[in-house]
Amino acid sequence: MKAALIENYGDIQQLIVTETQIPTIAADQVLIKVHAAGVNPVDFYIRSGMFKDTGTHSLPLTLGWDTAGTIEQIGERVTEHKVGDQVFALAPFAKNGSYAEYLAIEADIVVSKPKHLSFAESAAVPLAALTAWQGLFTEGKLKAGQRVLIHNTSGGVGSFAVQLAKAAGAYVIGTASKKNREFVESLGVDEFIDYQNNKFEGEVAPVDLVFAAVGGDDIVARSLAVIKAGGHLISLFDEIDEVLATEQQVTYQRLWVQPNAADLTQIKDLLEQGKVQVHLDSLFPLADAQLAHQRSESKRTVGKIVLQVIAD
Ligand SMILES: NC(=O)c1ccc[n+]([C@@H]2O[C@H](COP(=O)([O-])OP(=O)(O)OC[C@H]3O[C@@H](n4cnc5c(N)ncnc54)[C@H](OP(=O)(O)O)[C@@H]3O)[C@@H](O)[C@H]2O)c1
């Protein structure tokens, strides 16, 4: 089969489209014929070698962990899916990913794809929307009527986070640059902050939760200034000293998204109810995986990037 993989860590040139073996499945796995694969920043971070000393991966490694496709084969212990089901999933980061014609994946993290969405739109969802879900609700404990500040509302994670927080009845304050104001307001933000021209500390009345979907500029530590005692601070990238948060009676967590079928099913339901929309920044054929990484590494994307393996 064709796959976009790395044989060495490094720059974009290391991502090559080549022939490789179709994976074999274990008893608890399914084989997905991949129609589309979502592209996320972690893909280029892993490609560049950011995690190479953790021993998590072995090379060659097929990148990409978001997938949408059709079940081609099921393991002997699999009861929840059948051949031909149209599904989507976040695959485990430690194994080969979805920039490929086939993916072997544990059946219990695979969910039927939203009926009305294309495979490309479905593949854009799992990693970014699960990150938003787990950050806002599982760890951030966000409830109806509470106030949340979301840093970076124009990217993949933030564009889902705004819609999920609004669907849950929260009041949403969102940062983005001026050029993306119209887009993030269309997602439902109640208050917009132009992060390039304003310091959020001076603009925001106290919130119950800060969800930082961006690093740099000391954003995570600075966010403590706007969180109520008893509130939560979730960071997706930078770490801060937990003591700083504890001193202010804030629960701080550096989140790592996890595959989770129950969470993904709730997200799928909201998509099917029309309460959450998918916004694609760009679509690339598998053969142009390098261009997709170039776009992702620009850090200027609005919504999600997807690799199309089979045209919808
Ligand atoms: N820990 C985890 O489990 C996990 C999971 C998913 C993602 N992440 C991390 O979370 C971050 C967001 O992921 P993503 O997929 O949403 O990224 P993304 O789609 O690449 O984000 C791109 C967006 O970031 C905006 N942006 C850049 N700097 C900003 C700033 N200082 N304030 C506000 N917006 C800013 C850009 O808007 P402008 O062009 O207007 O600047 C652009 O629209 C990444 O660092 C990613 O690695 C972590």
Pairing of strands 280-285, 15-19: unpaired
Rounded to whole angstroms, the Cα distance separating 175 from 251 reads: 22
CB-ligand 1 contact for 214 (6 Å cutoff): yes
* Overall average pLDDT of the 120-127 stretch: 98
User: How far does residue 77's CA lie from ligand 1's centre (Å)?
Assistant: 39
Task: Report the amino acid identity of residue 238.
Answer: D
Quote the radius of gyration of the chain (alpha carbons, Å): 19
Rounded to whole angstroms, the Cα distance separating 275 from 156 reads: 17
Q: Which strand (E) or helix (H) includes residue 289?
A: helix 289-297
Residue 312: pLDDT above 90?
A: no
Ligand 1: which atom is nearest the Cα of residue 131?
5
User: How far does residue 250's CA lie from ligand 1's centre (Å)?
Assistant: 23
- Grouping H, G, I as helix, E, B as strand and the rest as coil, residue 139 is helix
274: nearest Cα among 128, 126, 117, 150: 117
Residue 132: pLDDT above 90?
A: yes
User: How far does residue 273's CA lie from ligand 1's centre (Å)?
Assistant: 26
Query: Which of 171-182 are b and which e, b meaning 16 or more Cβ less than 10 Å from the residue's Cβ?
Result: bbbbbbeeebbe
Q: Return the percentage of the chain with pLDDT > 90, whole number.
A: 99
Average pLDDT, the chain: 98
The residues spanned by each domain of the chain are 2-125+278-308, 128-254
- Judge contact between 72 and 32, C-beta under 8 A: yes
Q: How many Cα atoms are found within 13 Å in the side-chain-facing hemisphere of 101?
A: 9
- pLDDT at position 28 is 98
- Judge contact between 278 and 12, C-beta under 8 A: no
CB-ligand 1 contact for 223 (6 Å cutoff): no
pLDDT (tens digit, 9 = 90+) per residue, 9-55?
A: 999 999 999 999 999 999 999 999 999 999 999 999 999 999 999 99
Ligand 1: which atom is nearest the Cα of residue 40?
15
Judge whether 2-125+278-308 and 128-254 match in fold: no
- pLDDT at position 197 is 96
Q: Which CATH class is domain 2-125+278-308?
A: alpha beta
- Judge contact between 259 and 267, C-beta under 8 A: no
Rounded to whole angstroms, the Cα distance separating 36 from 139 reads: 29
Q: How confident is residue 3, by pLDDT bands cut at 50, 70 and 90?
A: very high
CB-ligand 1 contact for 128 (6 Å cutoff): yes
CB-ligand 1 contact for 174 (6 Å cutoff): no
Ligand 1: which atom is nearest the Cα of residue 217?
31
User: How far does residue 69's CA lie from ligand 1's centre (Å)?
Assistant: 26
Q: 128-254 belongs to which homologous superfamily? A: NAD(P)-binding Rossmann-like Domain (3.40.50.720)
pLDDT (tens digit, 9 = 90+) per residue, 155-197?
A: 999 999 999 999 999 999 999 999 999 999 999 999 999 999 9
